Amino acid sequence: MKKRGVSSHLDWVIGFGLFTVSVVFLIVMLRPGLGSGYNSERLLDIVQDGLMKDVIWSLYKTPLKVDSHCESIGATPSSNKCTNFPFTNLNHGNTKIVEGDVERFYSISGSQLSIDISDSEIHYFNILNSEEINRDTGDTLSINCPHTDCYFGVPEKLEGISEDELDSLDIENYETIKSRWHYPDIKEFYMEINNVKIGTDEQPLNTPVYIRRISDFILKDTGELESVNILIKVW
């Protein structure tokens, strides 16, 4: 009798355990987004991370102050020279010098920077480079025609969204983007950044849609940062 009682109790425990496992399994399978291992936050993270990997770029901005004492009459780009140019690994193909949003003509020969200034004034430039540049030590004063004072600031790394990469993403196939970002095939997303719209906005009825709004910056090739709002929807 004791053995039958123990056996009956054991059967009840096993049966209840199997029932509990079955119920949990059904809940997981029927709950939207969880059966495949992708809940709403995970889906939103996939889209946001994929976007940032595709469109974020870096730019190094180095302030340059040029105090020109050259006469404005007869002044030429070669009249204003910084003979103490301290950046040794500057790539001309990836570099521009701007004053505000205006690009300036310049040339570099060894440690000499010639810049286009047609007056005897103080000018504030930014040297923009897509790669980090090394700085050598040197004097901060150069004497030319009768002299031009050149002062270089500390390079600053800027990061933001590239307009060119965003435009490329705008015309790319939606399914290709989903595959590259490892977004699940059975799920969909939609995103807006300025006038760029990515994904599908055909949201099915009776399906919960999850939304995330974030703010970031567009980094222009002039070194300016422009705030931008990003809307992400997943379902």
Distance CA 142, CA 146 (A): 10
Q: What is the pLDDT of residue 131?
A: 80
Confidence of residue 124 (pLDDT cuts 50, 70, 90): very high
Distance CA 133, CA 60 (A): 8
Q: What is the pLDDT of residue 142?
A: 46
Instruction: Enumerate the domain spans of the chain.
Output: 32-55+161-234, 59-158
Distance CA 79, CA 54 (A): 43
Torsion of CA 17, 19, 22, 23, to 10 degrees: -110
Average pLDDT over residues 85-108: 82
For residue 28, give the amino acid letter: V
- Which has more pLDDT, 152 or 8? 152
DSSP 99: E
The lowest-confidence range among 15-24, 80-89, 177-186, 207-216 is 15-24
Average pLDDT over the chain, rounded to an integer: 79
- Which has more pLDDT, 140 or 84? 84
User: How many other CB atoms sit within 10 Å of the CB of residue 204?
Assistant: 8
Q: What is the pLDDT of residue 68?
A: 76
Tell me what percent of the residues of the chain surpass a pLDDT of 70.
72
Q: What is the pLDDT of residue 22?
A: 58
Can you read off the two tokens belonging to residue 111?
Answer: 């440690």
- Residue 163 clears pLDDT 80, i.e. is over it: yes
Where is mean pLDDT largest: 14-18, 97-101, 118-122, 225-229? 225-229
Tell me what percent of the residues of the chain surpass a pLDDT of 90.
41
Confidence of residue 18 (pLDDT cuts 50, 70, 90): low
Q: What is the pLDDT of residue 35?
A: 44
pTM: 0.69
- Which has more pLDDT, 133 or 19? 133
Q: What is the pLDDT of residue 100?
A: 86
